Amino acid sequence: MGVAGCGKSSVATLVAQATGLRLIEGDDHHSTCAREKMRQGIALTDADRDGWLTTLGTLLRAHPEGVVLTCSALKRAYRERLRSAVPGLRFAFLEISREAALARVCARAPSHFFSSSLVDSQFTTLENPVGEAGVIRLAAMAPLVELQDQIRAWLHTKETA
């Protein structure tokens, strides 16, 4: 979880490969309307995210063996909705600076629907999850393999705090 450009998809792909779990790309489940809003630089509202979060919760429940899901989960209320779908759900929070996130979002602009003009709104919306149960905080600019190793080691611990 984290703001746009933090590396959710890249890290999740490696974690899924390393653990043998299925990868669900949260962005693939946004409505056409939501994608178009983001493409136009219009920030999504809680109402825009409602159906998306319901879908993600359903997908999580459909995989009791575990799954790796990419999702911004910027607000605590969004994380709580997902936790209610799957008790014990864990979040790897990829923390990144606004400048680094903007640079990454701009670099992927030709191939991604998310407008770089929305990066500031992501940081405004973000409710930092540090201190919530089942959250690990990671430096998003660390090498991908290092992030994957940290997440795998954390997933093997019993502790969720």
Q: What is the pLDDT of residues 122-133, one digit of tens each?
A: 899 999 999 999
Q: Evaluate whether residue 137 is within a structural domain.
A: yes
On whether residue 160 sits in a domain, the answer given is: no
Q: Which residues contact 70 (CB under 8 A, 6 or more apart)?
A: 8, 9, 12, 23, 24, 25, 26, 27
Count the domains in the chain: 1
Q: What is the pLDDT of residues 36-54, one digit of tens each?
A: 887 887 888 899 999 999 9
Is the whole-model pTM more than 0.95?
no
Residue 1 lies in a domain: no
In this predicted structure, the answer to whether residue 159 has a pLDDT above a threshold of 50 is no
- The label of the residue with tokens 């919306």 reads 125
Q: Is residue 2 part of a domain?
A: no
Mean pLDDT of the chain: 90
- Residue 60 sits in a domain whose CATH number is 3.40.50.300
- Give the tens place of pLDDT for each residue, 86-99: 999 999 999 999 99
Q: Which domain holds residue 81?
A: 8-155
Residue 136 lies in a domain: yes
12, part of any domain: yes
